[in-house]
Every structure is written in structure tokens, then in C-alpha cells.
Amino acid sequence: MNKYELAVVVNAKIEDDERAQVIEKVKALIERFGGQISDVDEWGKKRLAYEIQKMKEGYYYFIHFEADAETPGEIEQRIRIMEGVIRYLCVRQEA
């Protein structure tokens, strides 16, 4: 099992409950592919480095989890098409 960090930037224009649903879907994806979530950091609304889809702000979430090597690829394929997610990045952390 490797340790990973998944950074997700969620659309700031959607409602709080919709934003929570997006993160719950991401967490469910991780668990569905055998990942074990250790913690979720919510950084809140931050200004984006550059405008994305005419938005200047987004909600940042960092999800730490352990999983097999194939899991991040599976998760990224599904996050790519999720409504409400404007950017994501999954990186492996050193042990």
C-alpha cells in the first residue's frame, strides 16, 4: 500500500450541501477502489492562481489515503468527469 494525497478544487459557485456531496462522492470512489482514507483537510475558499472557466476562486480539499498503485488512475478517470470539480491532482507521498 502506498500513501497518496489527492488535491481537489471544487467550484465556489455551488451551494454548501452540493459541495459536501462532491467530496463525499470522491471519498466513496477512493473506498470503492480499495483505498483507506486517513484524513480530509478542508482549506476553504481560496483565490485561484489563474482564472478557470471564468472563476477566480475555488474550495480546496486535500484527502490523504493509502491504496494500491492502480487506484489513483481509476480515481482520476472518474473525477475528471465529475460535476463541480474544476481541478484535481493525486500525488504519491514518500514514506
Give residue-wise pLDDT tens across range 60-80: 999 999 999 999 999 999 999
Supply the range of the domain harboring residue 24.
2-93
- Rounded to an integer, the average pLDDT of 34-52 is 94
Dihedral of the CA atoms 56, 11, 83, 90 (nearest 10)? 90
CATH number of the domain enclosing 83: 3.30.70.60
Strand, coil or helix: what is 70?
Answer: coil
Percent of the chain with pLDDT over 70: 99
Q: What average pLDDT does this structure show over 33-40? A: 93
Domain count, the chain: 1
Question: For residue 95, what pLDDT is reported?
Answer: 66
For residues 67-86, b (16+ Cβ closer than 10 Å) or e, as one string?
beeebbebbeeebeeeebbb
